[in-house]
Amino acid sequence: MQNNLRFVATTYAGLEPVLAEELIGLGADDVELGRRSVYFSGDIGLLYRANYALRTALKILMPLRTFRIKRVDDLYHQVSKIRWEDYFDVNQTFAVQSKVFNDLFRNSMFASLKAKDAIVDRFRRISGQRPSIHVDRPDILINLHISNEECTISLDSSGESLHKRGYRIGSHEAPISEVLAAGMLKLAGWNGQEPLTDPMCGSGTIVIEAAMMAKNILPGEVRQGYGFQKWKNYKEEIFRNIKNQKDHNQLGFKIYGSDISRQNIDMAYKNAEKANVLDVVQLEIADFRTLEKKVESSFLIFNPPYGERIKSGDQAFYAMVGERLKHHHPNTTAWIISTNECLKSIGLRPEVKIPLYNGSLACSFREYKLYKGSKKSSD
């Protein structure tokens, strides 16, 4: 493979700028924002490092071919031209994942089937044998994206989504994604050098992501395995060197998390232990209605119940949150993600509003500056 390759990192809508910053920090070239994606260039070592170190990426794709299609058979013919034998062996399993926005194809599954047939037939022509399909845990994952007439087929270097860090042993009924949690911390401008509190921490995702950022524990230190490790040209020595470059920070402060549910706190403890951050995380069972401000912590970030966990627009609950913030958390910055409808009832004026999605739910991520005494902007 060439030294200067073009890659695509995918993410959630709204996190593209922070993902771009992360990539620039890793030394990526030609960084360019896309829709729920960031394009960048680099060598194969950067591809490995991006998977291992990025906190706000879901997948790292390596495009193999981009082409235009006017008929269904164009997809088969173009996919057949790719030298798949350069990337994996006939005795390995593979799967094709498709996203299709094109009237030629009835659904994504039909496009995946066409691409799969082209790959299998190419191997059969070359070697007389065919690789097997494994939908759930393939050795090689291939990504197909069709938008109008433009089609891109890529190797998925990540395998499982990068939000699956590997520390989540248990979770409550509506956990926030690890990637979204990391993205929120970055969007909020938290620098990893001051205490932080999540007063509704659930199974601890925001707290753990914050602690990993502060300690400089990379997501790959917990996770087991990536798609690129099954590629034919995998360079184990390059990846080993990346894994050996650890530079953890010693913290002089705590990351605080609390939740009303003992079960959630028990899970948060187990998850924090697996993530190797139990030394800097302090967890407690507490009801936000009676929770007082941690003297040393002036930064709150949380994901209150909404959507399936609470009746939509529960005005009383969000009014209570606003009152508690206003009267019991003076001189504090609070960042909250919830639906626009729920946040209408909080009774505080936000300094910043950032549209984000939590799963398929449209949300707003808002900053509230809380002052001791009265200030018009917080009334």
pLDDT, position 359: 87
Please give the CATH number for the structural domain made up of 5-156.
Answer: 3.30.2130.30
Four-point Cα dihedral 252, 186, 365, 181, nearest 10: -80
Hey, CA dihedral for 271, 275, 276, 282, is it positive or negative? negative
**Per CATH, is 178-222+247-378 categorized as 3.40.50.150?**
yes
Q: Count Cα neighbours of 325 within 13 Å in the Cβ-side half-sphere.
A: 30
Which amino acid makes up residue 253? Answer: F
Residue 227 · residue 157 · CB < 8 Å:
yes
* Two tokens, residue 322: 């606003």
Residue 329 · residue 293 · CB < 8 Å:
yes
Q: How far apart are CA 46 and CA 53, in angstroms?
A: 10
Hey, CA dihedral for 208, 210, 214, 218, is it positive or negative? positive
pLDDT, position 375: 53
Successive 10-residue mean pLDDT values, the chain, 379 residues:
82 97 97 97 98 98 96 94 96 95 86 96 95 92 94 97 91 81 98 95 97 97 95 96 93 96 95 96 96 88 74 78 94 95 93 94 95 55
Q: At what angle do helices 178-187 and 16-26 cross, to 10 degrees?
A: 90
pLDDT, position 307: 54
Location of structure tokens 């994206």: 145
Which amino acid makes up residue 123? Answer: F
pLDDT, position 42: 97
CATH topology of 5-156 equal to that of 178-222+247-378?
Answer: no
Domain ranges of the chain: 5-156, 178-222+247-378
Residue 232 · residue 92 · CB < 8 Å:
no
